Structure 1
Amino acid sequence: MISNNAEIMEEDLKDKYQLEEEDKASLIEYTHKVLNFISKDTLNEDDKKFITKETVDDFKNFVNPGFLEYRKSVTNGGQYASVEWKDAGLNSFIDVSGKEYIDCLGGFGIYNVGHRNPRVLKAVNAQLKHQALHSQDLLDPLRGILAKLLAEITPGKLQYSFFGNSGTEAVEGAIKLAKIHQKKKGKNYFISTVGAFHGKSLGSLSATSKGMFRKPFMPLVSGFKRVFYGDVDMMYKTVRASSMVGEDIAAIILEPIQGEGGVIVPPHDYFAKVKQICEDFDILLIADEVQTGMGRTGKMFCVEHYGVEPDIMCLAKALGGGIMPIGAVIATEDVFSEFFPNPFIHTTTFGGNPLSCAAAIATINVLLEDNMPERAAKMGTYFISELRKVTRKYKNIVKEVRGMGLMIGIEFENDKTGYKVSKGLFDKGILVAGTLINAKTIRIEPPLTIEKAQCDFVCKALDEVLSNI
């Protein structure tokens, strides 16, 4: 009787979940159509209509309709914005309809060496001919080589790297490293800052500050305390008070410049003073360089501006050269050695894969050989100066232009103005966006390869948009 019921249930499941041959054939035809337009260099009018309609419909029905509503708020006439199609040189991209945009968002900081940088693309294509992913069991050479390169270019005694696929994973790795290293000393608490953004997985979200992101998922990972960014006195008092009540701090995690917080540049001596607090109380300093690293601010890593050597550093975004996703957490031997006895204590299937490592190695080559950090410093100085010249005429709506290198923020009096400016620039073929925690600040974060003429075009367009507002 049991056997018969099982057979009946199996037949029912087949009927319920198995694709009908007609549906299967339809899906195969659909995938062929999609693969066909992927392989095309140019699109005809039917292709454009198909891609645009499919994209909007699929986001509405299968991805998240909230993205459509967001795009409507920052584009002209309430349309759903453009549908991306392909890159157009190092600093621009083209939508399906053929309109070109100067990229002043840079994928939230991933395109430091430009869109489809030829050397990065060449390395990835070459590696793809050998092997895309690794077996997980044998030693893979590019992971070791990339770790060596990072040890050479990062400040201080940072030496050992663990590779993941994103900034969030890098922060998760940093938190776990700090926990395992400091737990034996009875130190279990962390300090992060108001305005901080460190990711949205459960651990990294515990360090992130925005209530809108945090509240739906509470309670988060315990043991995180908050201080105001840039306030050394509050940092010291919080560390000392925590020590006095037996809640000793394991690590302090900081962005060298708060990115999503609104491109907030701290006082120049802030990091050095925080580092001194760390040394006085035996606390680890975690530098979250996910957005500020890889030449963005005019140095290879932003902490170099402050003369500080962290115990742990997080990298991602631009590390993959705008071609492949990769994140890294790098630590000193003293800290990372906690992972030595059992290298499987913290792993990820795709982290450190050959394609991503090839992209990162090529990215480091471009940054060093083309002096990209120095270029970012020079172009950033020019761009910030020109943006300030424009915005001085609109002091009633513009509060400040600030930044370092090519990590620039323009803060307005309110969120509404920020959205209007983003929309106006988009209509003129320039992509910018607000910051996630401080929406009244828009970021100007172009590839480090941006040309002077493109900076001038952006400034002229900004002048016209602000004049209309």
Structure 2
Amino acid sequence: MNLDDLVFHPWAMQGPRDVPTLVGGSGSHVVDDGGRRYLDFGSQLVFTNLGHQHPRIVAAIREQADRLCTLAPGWASDVRGEAARLIVEVAPEGLGHVLFTSSGTEAIEHAVRMARLFTGRPKVLAAYRSYHGSTTTSIHLTGDPRRWASDTGAAGAVHFFGPFLYRSAFGSATQEEECERALAHLEQVILLEGPGTIAALVLESVTGSSGVIVPPPGYLRGLRELCDRHGIIYIADEVMAGFGRTGAWFGVDHAGVAPDLMAFAKGVNSGYVPLGGVLVSDAVYELFTTRPYPAGLTYSGHPLACAAAVGAISAMRDEDTIAAAARLGSEVLGPGLGELADRHRVVGDVRGIGGLWSLELVRDRVTREPLVPPGATGAATAPMAAVVKACLERGLLPLVLGNRLHVAPPLNIDDGDAAAGLAILDEVLSAADAHAA
């Protein structure tokens, strides 16, 4: 019996699967049950920011397990408090408290709940080409096709177009035009929806799995100003972008803005034990000093997860991971992926920052027709399935979503491994070129 067949798998048709069974790992590599090594070029789902089996994180988990494995959230915990302190220290100014969750999805749910309680308003704005999670509120806020099967139109979610020059909704020719027109569009959506009905705006600081879209200069500052003008809570979704992934502690740091609430997860502890959370501004925090916050989680601030966060953040500081991630993008991945785009006609666009990049694969560079259509399933996904298969055959774990090949290795990957991964992608894209005009 294949034990994997007993597992009900998320985001997949059920039934036998042809995937490696991974049983070990170290650094930027994982190992299957046959002893074969794979280069993890997507950090799993972009969360192993410090790679696999980092000794500082493993030791922190082990030491905490020897002291106290678990604790209900109502009791004070030294390791929970220390994790909160380290997170607040690297967060934007004014975010002084942490609600711990078990995931990014839960973090979005609670951030939205706080915003609605704070403002007394029902609606939440979110961008198309976004992903915020798969629970009820977060999947309604999600703007890409993963929302379609679950969207009832009843969660108060209102979508708008964010800036995306490659597929501009505004006919822009430059990043400056795209920024200006996207902000004007957003203002119109706010005015037409009724500012007094909008509790919050939630936005990935750098769009992650829906396309790796870096906002143009000035966009986040303009968005912050619109939220301030209309009394709207600005929720930054930093679940994927946070904790070094973009070459800064958080994606908003590149723009020098501070949100009212900030959702995080993934890189906070490299995903070694499930952990997420909401960083809460002083104003929102004060509301709940005079009334209880009407929600909770059994595993909020789980000691093993918080210990992993303490180990990870401490290691990132000592190892200068933020600078390493910035260099990874500017000197290794950015130039390397640009060269691949020059060589392969199937690559329509290269986008990214720090350790978060995407190759958008197209059938035609002129029309920009995606290699597979949005929301495709079954046989229509065959070209991208072939890309995955070719990567695995060459010892590379890829991260493929829609028509995009995402590149997000551990932030501490060495240059040799990064070059090896790019060389494999070069071979894979040579085969994929057959699908392009």
For normalisation by structure 2, the TM-score amounts to: 0.86
2:390 aligns with one of 421, 424, 438: 424
Question: Partner amino acid for 2:28?
Answer: N
Partner of 2:85: 148
SS of corresponding position for 2:235? strand
Unpaired segments ≥5 residues, structure 2: 164-181, 363-370, 373-381, 433-437
5 Å-filtered alignment, 1:3-22, equals: none
Partner of 2:193: 242
1:464 aligns with one of 403, 409, 427: 427
Residues 422 and 442 in structure 1, CA contact (< 8 A), matched pair in contact too: no
Question: Partner amino acid for 2:132?
Answer: H
Partner of 2:162: 229
SS of corresponding position for 2:105? helix
2:76 aligns with one of 115, 139, 143: 139
1:441 aligns with one of 393, 404, 408: 404
How far is the alpha carbon of 1:217 from its aligned partner?
A: 5.2
Tell me: CA distance 1:302–1:344, structure 2 relative to 1, closer, same or farther (3 Å).
closer
Question: Partner amino acid for 1:82?
Answer: P
Partner of 1:393: 343
Residues 31 and 37 in structure 2, CA contact (< 8 A), matched pair in contact too: yes
Partner of 1:182: 119
Partner of 1:119: 56
Tell me: CA distance 1:339–1:346, structure 2 relative to 1, closer, same or farther (3 Å).
farther
Partner of 1:9: none
5 Å-filtered alignment, 1:47-62, equals: 53-59=1-7
Using the alignment, how far apart are the partners of 1:97 and 1:67 within structure 2?
Answer: 26
Using the alignment, how far apart are the partners of 1:275 and 1:216 within structure 2?
Answer: 30
Residues 139 and 150 in structure 2, CA contact (< 8 A), matched pair in contact too: no
1:406 aligns with one of 355, 363, 374: 355
How far is the alpha carbon of 1:330 from its aligned partner?
A: 0.7
How far is the alpha carbon of 1:136 from its aligned partner?
A: 4.1
Using the alignment, how far apart are the partners of 1:325 and 1:449 within structure 2?
Answer: 21
Question: Partner amino acid for 2:300?
Answer: G
Residues 73 and 301 in structure 2, CA contact (< 8 A), matched pair in contact too: no
Residues 55 and 83 in structure 1, CA contact (< 8 A), matched pair in contact too: no
Partner of 2:47: 110
Structure richer in helix, relative to its length: 1
Using the alignment, how far apart are the partners of 2:41 and 2:247 within structure 1?
Answer: 17
Rg comparison, structure with higher value: 1
Tell me: CA distance 1:215–1:417, structure 2 relative to 1, closer, same or farther (3 Å).
closer
Using the alignment, how far apart are the partners of 1:225 and 1:65 within structure 2?
Answer: 24
Identity among equivalent pairs (%): 28
How far is the alpha carbon of 1:304 from its aligned partner?
A: 0.4
Partner of 2:284: 335
Partner of 1:47: none
Using the alignment, how far apart are the partners of 1:344 and 1:335 within structure 2?
Answer: 11
Using the alignment, how far apart are the partners of 1:136 and 1:249 within structure 2?
Answer: 31
How far is the alpha carbon of 1:348 from its aligned partner?
A: 0.6
Using the alignment, how far apart are the partners of 1:418 and 1:390 within structure 2?
Answer: 17
Using the alignment, how far apart are the partners of 2:139 and 2:430 within structure 1?
Answer: 39
How far is the alpha carbon of 1:284 from its aligned partner?
A: 1.2
How far is the alpha carbon of 1:137 from its aligned partner?
A: 4.1
Partner of 2:375: none
Tell me: CA distance 1:237–1:192, structure 2 relative to 1, closer, same or farther (3 Å).
same
Question: Partner amino acid for 1:329?
Answer: V
1:324 aligns with 2:273: yes
Tell me: CA distance 1:242–1:220, structure 2 relative to 1, closer, same or farther (3 Å).
closer
Using the alignment, how far apart are the partners of 2:128 and 2:278 within structure 1?
Answer: 23
SS of corresponding position for 1:272? helix
5 Å-filtered alignment, 1:238-317, equals: 238-243=189-194, 247-317=196-266
How far is the alpha carbon of 1:67 from its aligned partner?
A: 5.2
Residues 140 and 151 in structure 2, CA contact (< 8 A), matched pair in contact too: no
Using the alignment, how far apart are the partners of 1:316 and 1:295 within structure 2?
Answer: 12
Partner of 2:24: 86
How far is the alpha carbon of 1:343 from its aligned partner?
A: 4.5
How far is the alpha carbon of 1:181 from its aligned partner?
A: 0.4
How far is the alpha carbon of 1:464 from its aligned partner?
A: 1.6
How far is the alpha carbon of 1:214 from its aligned partner?
A: 3.8
Tell me: CA distance 1:365–1:67, structure 2 relative to 1, closer, same or farther (3 Å).
farther
How far is the alpha carbon of 1:104 from its aligned partner?
A: 0.8
Using the alignment, how far apart are the partners of 1:105 and 1:68 within structure 2?
Answer: 23
Residues 189 and 247 in structure 1, CA contact (< 8 A), matched pair in contact too: no
Which deviations, in whole Å up to 9, do the C-alpha atoms of 1:288-331 show, x marking residues without a partner? 00000000000010110111111100000111223111001011
1:384 aligns with 2:334: yes
Tell me: CA distance 1:122–1:172, structure 2 relative to 1, closer, same or farther (3 Å).
same
How far is the alpha carbon of 1:219 from its aligned partner?
A: 4.6
Q: How large is the Cα RMSD of the aligned pairs?
A: 1.9
Using the alignment, how far apart are the partners of 1:160 and 1:136 within structure 2?
Answer: 15
Tell me: CA distance 1:65–1:201, structure 2 relative to 1, closer, same or farther (3 Å).
closer
Using the alignment, how far apart are the partners of 1:440 and 1:64 within structure 2?
Answer: 19
Which deviations, in whole Å up to 9, do the C-alpha atoms of 1:248-283 show, x marking residues without a partner? 321110001111211112212111110111111121
Which deviations, in whole Å up to 9, do the C-alpha atoms of 1:14-61 show, x marking residues without a partner? xxxxxxxxxxxxxxxxxxxxxxxxxxxxxxxxxxxxxxx4324323xx
Using the alignment, how far apart are the partners of 2:254 and 2:308 within structure 1?
Answer: 26
How far is the alpha carbon of 1:422 from its aligned partner?
A: 2.4
1:160 aligns with 2:97: yes
Residues 50 and 410 in structure 2, CA contact (< 8 A), matched pair in contact too: yes
SS of corresponding position for 2:143? coil
Which deviations, in whole Å up to 9, do the C-alpha atoms of 1:360-414 show, x marking residues without a partner? 111110111111111011012211211211221112x110111000101010011
Unpaired segments ≥5 residues, structure 1: 1-52, 73-79
How far is the alpha carbon of 1:128 from its aligned partner?
A: 0.3
Q: How many residues align?
A: 396
How far is the alpha carbon of 1:434 from its aligned partner?
A: 1.6
SS of corresponding position for 1:264? coil
Which deviations, in whole Å up to 9, do the C-alpha atoms of 1:48-101 show, x marking residues without a partner? xxxxx4324323xx66794566x95xxxxxxx12111111x2110001111100
5 Å-filtered alignment, 1:31-42, equals: none
